[in-house]
Structure 1
Amino acid sequence: MSAKANILAKLRNSLAGTQPLVDDFDEALVSEPWRYPPEQRVPRLRQLMEAVHTETHLTTLADWPALLERLLTEKQLGSLLIAPSTPWGAQLAEHFAGRSDAPHLKAYDRPVEEWKAELFNDTPASLTGTLGAIAATGSLILWPTREEPRLMSLVPPVHFAILKASEVYDNFYEVQQQQQWAGGMPTNALLVSGPSKTADIEQVLAYGAHGPKDLIVLILEDA
């Protein structure tokens, strides 16, 4: 018998003659104190996120590309990393199609080893979708995929995130239940409330130490 099989056998044998504990979990304890009327979810989310240096904007499915263009201009961001195969990437590419004044849209379409220097040193901003948000904690839910790897939201100094207002949930427990997280999760499932920050050095708060220094959330009210 292998060492692994021997350990597992001991664990199984240790349960002999025992009785499982009654499952008396009360989901109300982790959900009821953090429920909000539907019309309060987005305002609460914005309040909590803006309190920790996150920038939020209300917009629509039709208007967000124009808003993003204005923000890119105001912040003097000449290029943007997108995932062209996602709905957001495709919509933005169409918005800028054929325009000589458009910012340079970069696609995350190669292994990171092939363009690591450009990604880390010459990619000032990125755009990703989200899986929703949590009103109770003021957090975005990021769910990295093959099209939108974790580095898209981690490396560029400015991160733009698309959030559907209809996908702002009351609390974390509700998210897990409604989206059936138990059925499978990615390597990284992230809750993000604001840009990267630290006060490790002399207790001086600094942004951008371990990720984006600016987080900008575009909330689509009709989606």
Structure 2
Amino acid sequence: MSKDAILGAIRRGLRRGPLPADQAAMLAGRLATHPRHLIPARSRVSRPEQIALFVRNVEKEFGSVVRLADAADVPGAVADWLAAQNLPPRFVMAPHPELEALPWADRPMLGFEARRADGSDTVSVQHGWAAVAETGTILFPSDPTRPTTLNLLPESEIVVLRASRVVGAYEEAWDLLRAERQDAETGGFMPRNLMFVTGPSRSADIEQTLELGAHGPRRLHVLLIEDDAAAR
């Protein structure tokens, strides 16, 4: 059902007619310009400070971060983290071109499959699309090369993220998504799902006792590739 059909059904249910021309123009203008509301001052800092803020916020929310000089260091960092957590050197990985191009052969003891996760997978390696410094949140638009199940089913999730994809505020992340999706290839379609991940899954619903892994991974580890010279 189209947007016009949905809005028309709502108007009929409310017994309202078509929007007056001035209201329609006002709404179209807001959709086109994406006006800003108040943006927290903590995100309005230099690039190095934004990256540092992102790292602090991930760690504050019970995640961990390792900063890497180059993408080629990712396989070694994955192997080191799995060993440190006493986890088997096996994982399921997002079938993303950037991840598949990494030099995994340098670590022949690692075993992985590039696919969606299922209930038997204990560790996932996911491709981070972008992140927001003000809260330490990582964004994952749904995509065949970035399966959503990798963020939900395994107990441990490793996210490979480029520092150049860390923005200060949420508004900038939405700007980035619109800019990348509004082209000839996608026809301007937004992803069906955009997942926001801020640290491991957790809940304190029962007796106010914090429990990690309540409805997703109990461990979140970020491999941050230092590809932004301005952020160093």
TM class by smaller structure: 0.7 to 0.9
Distance 2:171 2:101 in 1: 32
Shift of 1:27: 3.6
In the other structure, the counterpart of 1:72 is: 82
Matched, 1:201 2:206: yes
What is the aligned partner in structure 1 of residue 94 from structure 2?
A: 83
Say which of 75, 89, 103 aligns to 2:110: 103
Aligned to 1:54: 63
Equivalent residue letter for 2:77: L
Structure 2 distance, partners of 1:16, 1:133, is 37
Q: Contact 1:59–1:221 at 8 Å: present in 2 too?
A: yes
Deviations 1:79-109, CA, capped at 9 Å, x for gaps: 111134522133153333xx3xx13212316
Distance 2:103 2:150 in 1: 16
In structure 1, list runs of 5 or more residues that go unmatched: 113-118
Structure 2 CA distance, aligned partners of 1:207 and 1:66? 26
- Contact 1:142–1:189 (Cα < 8 Å) also in 2: yes
Q: Is the 8 A contact 1:31 1:174 kept in 2?
A: no
Q: Distance in 2 between matches of 1:92 and 1:208?
A: 31
* C-alpha distance 192-84 of structure 1, shift in aligned 2 (>3 A): closer
More displaced, 9-18 or 175-184? 9-18
Q: Structure 1 length normalisation: TM-score?
A: 0.80
TM-superposed CA distance for 1:19, in Å, is 3.3
Query: What residue in structure 2 maps to residue 192 of structure 1?
Result: 197
> SS where residue 179 of structure 1 aligns?
helix
* AA aligned opposite 1:66: G
| Counterpart mapping for 1:7-86 below 5 A | 7=9, 10=12, 14-15=17-18, 19-20=22-23, 22=26, 27-31=35-39, 33=41, 34-60=43-69, 61-78=71-88, 79-86=90-97
User: Which letter maps to 1:103?
Assistant: L
Q: Measured at CA, do residues 16 and 49 of structure 1 come closer, stay the same or move farther in structure 2, by a change above 3 Å?
A: closer
Give the distance between the partners of 2:195 and 2:96, measured in 1 at CA. Answer: 22
Q: 4+ residue runs of structure 1 moved beyond 6 angstroms?
A: none
- Aligned residues of 1:157 and 1:212 also touching (Cα < 8 A): yes
- Compare 16-25 and 52-61 and name the one that shifted more: 16-25
Is contact 1:30-1:173 (8 Å) kept? no
- Aligned residue pair count: 207
User: Structure 1 CA distance, aligned partners of 2:212 and 2:10?
Assistant: 47
Q: 1:35 to 1:15 in 2, by over 3 A?
A: same
Change beyond 3 A, Cα 1:80–1:12: same
Runs of 5+ consecutive residues of structure 2 not aligned to the other structure: 183-187
Tell me which structure has the larger Cα radius of gyration.
1
Deviates most, 18-27 or 67-76: 18-27
Q: Cα deviations across residues 30-61 of structure 1 (Å, max 9, x unaligned)? A: 44734221111110001111111011111122
> What secondary structure, in the 3-state scheme, does the structure 1 residue paired with 2:56 have?
helix
The one-letter code matched in structure 2 to 1:138 is G
Q: Which amino acid aligns with 1:124?
A: T
